[in-house]
Amino acid sequence: MATRPTMESRRDQMFPLLAPQEIDRLRRFGEIRHYAKGEMVLSAGKDVEGLLVILSGEVRIASHHTNDEIVVHAPGSFLGELAHLSGRPSLVDGQAVSDVEAILIAPAHLREVMVAEAEIGERIMRALILRRVRLLEQNVGGPVIVGRADNRDVLRLEGFLARNGHPHERLDPDADGCAKALLERFHVSPAELPIVVCANGTMLRNPSENALARCIGLTRAVDSSKLYDAAIVGSGPAGLAAAVYGASEGLSVIVIDCRAFGGQAGASARIENYLGFPTGISGLALMARAYNQAQKFGAEMIIPDEVRSIGRDTEDGDAFVLLLASGQSIRARSVVIASGAEYRRLSLDNLPDYEGAHVHYWASPLEARLCAGQEVALVGAGNSAGQGAVYLSGVASKVWLIVRGKSLDATMSRYLCDRIAAQPNIEVLVETEIDALEGKDGVLDHVSWRSAGNAETVRRAISHVFLFIGAAPNTGWLAQFGVERDSKGFVLAEALAGENRFPFQTSRRGIFAVGDVRAASIKRVAAAVGEGAQVVSALHAWLADVRDASSAVASTFGART
Ligand SMILES: Cc1cc2nc3c(=O)[nH]c(=O)nc-3n(C[C@H](O)[C@H](O)[C@H](O)COP(=O)(O)OP(=O)(O)OC[C@H]3O[C@@H](n4cnc5c(N)ncnc54)[C@H](O)[C@@H]3O)c2cc1C
């Protein structure tokens, strides 16, 4: 059954009208602002000042690129979407149609509204999320990427924006008149594609994810003078759970992720075994909710940036300093390592030639679009492989599921094995391994595999290979600070409190490890979320100890002087 677009089915929730008494309750969180007819209230690419509750007059919201109208806000309505929660740049333009009087609620006060006025806060939060979903559904707002859909850098940039819940538009340089105009305007030759044009007018040539994130205001400069209660490394389920529980319990929290929020879970096409979602939920949708929830409670996000090393603060011996790939540093009284694990790769020499455009580690709608109607090969035998195979079988003509072991039963959940057996276009090849990838100029055209007991290699015309062959932790950077790991690199930290009474604490006091990165953890979303929630009580206990110790030092020092 076709689903109705969000805009149509949820318009009332997306654009609710607040009653006069509700508006009165919001007055104490904001200040009165006036805008003259024709004045820009919001400009795409510029930081938003806060949520605007309209008291009189009207504001027209429109796409920056096309000027197509999205909505006209009238008295009782409020202007804003998720960018207003964190004060990031606006994705759309807003212009006063007549003289406007409004209450401006700054992001920090908006978060207070969410907590102090729960019922109104819930309606506002739902509207902000639905408005972002609507922008994503209709590709309105955000940067414009000019490049071909199957180009590996276009896929990289589109994948980055999609996984961070940021809308964008892609223009095909061969078919789109606007694309041609942009290339002429910026003097770009086809060899230099893709380019990205940001809402603030900046043009980037094939940018890194980091450069793109800076240009569109997704990531911010870190305040290196601020001392956070907790720095959380990784925004997968474990890190986001620690952020939600920590920030909601009053801790100042900063989360750093080198890719996108959601971690491995964000790559899951459909999570069916997470408590409370009987019909399943896409990993990205589940993680986007957690990401917004953490921001609602005031957790700060630095995405994308990588934590490269950890050390002691030279000014405050009780604090830690994290050094980031961007050269910035973060100071915190405690650190939660929630850096999960990274996908494993096949050991084929020419694998890097095809990664990105033809060899994939995710099966999202972006990748699915590329292999519609074609045969694909998918390697793996765990639940992630099963989910990927089922998802791709809906678009590909055939999915060859290549399994090294003797069967799927030992490694994949029963419900997925049954679903695979019921799909006529999935063929499972056990005791089989890919032994060659062939192609030209980075374009994969054939894949070969060999099965045990079969001397002959099978060679098929396949252009897309999906690898779901497990993951290993990337924790080398912790070794230099003496954080102990097991032989596979997983961080040693016990879930139960030991002698030092801090569960999840590593061999370094004040540094904790949760989720997939922790040795002996259960590699599941629910387990990671549980550990992220639990570690917060250990953080409270640790922070109280640090405070007691420093006040003891202060009083001793005070008594002597
Ligand atoms: C495709 C797929 C499908 C899955 N399906 C299911 C399922 O249906 N049910 C289920 O229960 N489990 C599922 N899993 C497993 C589940 O997703 C993981 O157990 C869970 O995501 C682990 O959470 P985590 O927060 O510990 O780590 P991760 O999810 O791995 O997140 C870690 C994060 O840390 C970041 N990071 C790493 N190093 C650094 C650094 N140095 N600096 C900054 N950031 C860093 C990474 O970018 C990442 O975002 C699936 C996994 C995959 C890959």
Q: Tens of pLDDT along 313-351?
A: 888 878 999 999 999 999 999 999 999 998 888 989 999
Top mutation candidate among 254, 309, 339 for ligand 1, by most atoms within 8 Å of CB: 339
Q: Is the pLDDT of residue 224 over 60?
A: yes
For ligand 1, atom 48: residue with the closest CA? 263
pLDDT band, very low/low/confident/very high, at 40 (cuts 50, 70, 90): very high
Give the strand pairing for 227-228 and 329-332. Answer: parallel
For residue 234, the ligand 1 atom closest to its alpha carbon is 34
How confident is the model over 43-74, as pLDDT tens digits?
999 999 999 999 999 999 999 988 999 999 99
For residue 363, the ligand 1 atom closest to its alpha carbon is 1
CA pair distance 377, 437, nearest whole angstrom = 11
According to the model, what pLDDT value does residue 365 have?
87
Secondary structure string (H, E, C) spanning 200-269: CCCEEECCCHHHHHHHCCCCCCCCCCCEECEEEECCCHHHHHHHHHHHHCCCCEEEECCCCCCCCHHHCC
53 and 87 in contact (C-beta within 8 Å)?
no
Most confident of 96-105, 162-171, 219-228: 96-105
Top mutation candidate among 268, 287, 324, 514 for ligand 1, by most atoms within 8 Å of CB: 268
505 and 511 in contact (C-beta within 8 Å)?
yes
Q: In angstroms, what is the span from residue 52 Cα to ligand 1's centroid?
A: 37
**pTM (2 decimals)?**
0.88
CB of 238 closer than 6 A to ligand 1? yes
Between CA 347 and CA 208, with CA 384 as vertex, the angle to 5 degrees is 65
Q: In angstroms, what is the span from residue 470 Cα to ligand 1's centroid?
A: 11
User: Can you list the domains of the chain with their CATH numbers?
Assistant: 6-137 (2.60.120.10), 144-216 (3.40.30.10), 227-342+474-553 (3.50.50.60), 351-469 (3.50.50.60)
For ligand 1, atom 37: residue with the closest CA? 339
CB of 525 closer than 6 A to ligand 1? yes
Q: Is the pLDDT of residue 453 over 90?
A: no
Q: In angstroms, what is the span from residue 381 Cα to ligand 1's centroid?
A: 17
Question: Taking all residues of the chain, what is their mean pLDDT, rounded to a whole number?
Answer: 92
CA pair distance 156, 162, nearest whole angstrom = 10
CA pair distance 482, 310, nearest whole angstrom = 10
How confident is the model over 187-219, as pLDDT tens digits?
999 889 999 999 888 999 999 999 999 999 988
Mean pLDDT for the stretch of residues 474-493: 92
- Which residue is associated with the tokens 């809308």? 167
According to the model, what pLDDT value does residue 7 have?
57
CB of 162 closer than 6 A to ligand 1? no
Mean pLDDT for the stretch of residues 428-448: 95
According to the model, what pLDDT value does residue 1 have?
40
Q: Is the pLDDT of residue 371 over 90?
A: yes
Per-residue buried b or exposed e for 126-155, using 16+ beta carbons within 10 Å of the residue's own CB? ebbbbbbbbbbebebbbbbbbbbeebbbbb
For ligand 1, atom 13: residue with the closest CA? 524
CA pair distance 549, 320, nearest whole angstrom = 16
Q: In angstroms, what is the span from residue 137 Cα to ligand 1's centroid?
A: 25
CB of 234 closer than 6 A to ligand 1? yes
CB of 304 closer than 6 A to ligand 1? no
Q: Is the pLDDT of residue 281 over 50?
A: yes
CB of 387 closer than 6 A to ligand 1? yes
Q: In angstroms, what is the span from residue 233 Cα to ligand 1's centroid?
A: 12
Mean pLDDT for the stretch of residues 81-106: 95
Top mutation candidate among 210, 233, 261, 264 for ligand 1, by most atoms within 8 Å of CB: 264
Beta-bridge partner residues of 270: none
Q: In angstroms, what is the span from residue 113 Cα to ligand 1's centroid?
A: 32
Q: In angstroms, what is the span from residue 279 Cα to ligand 1's centroid?
A: 21
For residue 306, the ligand 1 atom closest to its alpha carbon is 42
Q: In angstroms, what is the span from residue 132 Cα to ligand 1's centroid?
A: 24
CB of 266 closer than 6 A to ligand 1? no
For ligand 1, atom 26: residue with the closest CA? 515
Q: In angstroms, what is the span from residue 71 Cα to ligand 1's centroid?
A: 37
For residue 362, the ligand 1 atom closest to its alpha carbon is 1
CB of 233 closer than 6 A to ligand 1? yes
Q: In angstroms, what is the span from residue 202 Cα to ligand 1's centroid?
A: 33
519 and 484 in contact (C-beta within 8 Å)?
no
How confident is the model over 306-322, as pLDDT tens digits?
999 999 988 887 899 99
Q: In angstroms, what is the span from residue 307 Cα to ligand 1's centroid?
A: 16
Mean pLDDT for the stretch of residues 238-248: 98
CA pair distance 467, 382, nearest whole angstrom = 11
How confident is the model over 531-542, as pLDDT tens digits?
999 999 999 999
How confident is the model over 170-186, as pLDDT tens digits?
999 998 888 999 899 89
Q: In angstroms, what is the span from residue 380 Cα to ligand 1's centroid?
A: 17
Beta-bridge partner residues of 440: 443
Q: Is the pLDDT of residue 248 over 90?
A: yes
According to the model, what pLDDT value does residue 2 have?
44
For residue 516, the ligand 1 atom closest to its alpha carbon is 26
Tokens of 126: 């739902």
Report the percent of the chain where pLDDT is more than 70.
Answer: 97
According to the model, what pLDDT value does residue 290 have?
97
Q: In angstroms, what is the span from residue 525 Cα to ligand 1's centroid?
A: 8
How confident is the model over 508-521, as pLDDT tens digits?
999 999 999 999 99
Beta-bridge partner residues of 401: 378, 428
According to the model, what pLDDT value does residue 343 have?
84
159 and 186 in contact (C-beta within 8 Å)?
no
Residue 142 gets the label, from left (phi > 0), alpha (psi -120 to 50) or beta, of left
- Write the CB contacts of 294 (distance below 8 Å, at least 6 apart in sequence): 240, 243, 244, 247, 253, 255, 301
pLDDT band, very low/low/confident/very high, at 455 (cuts 50, 70, 90): confident
Give all strands of the β-sheet with 426-429 in edge-to-edge order.
359-360, 465-467, 375-379, 398-402, 426-429
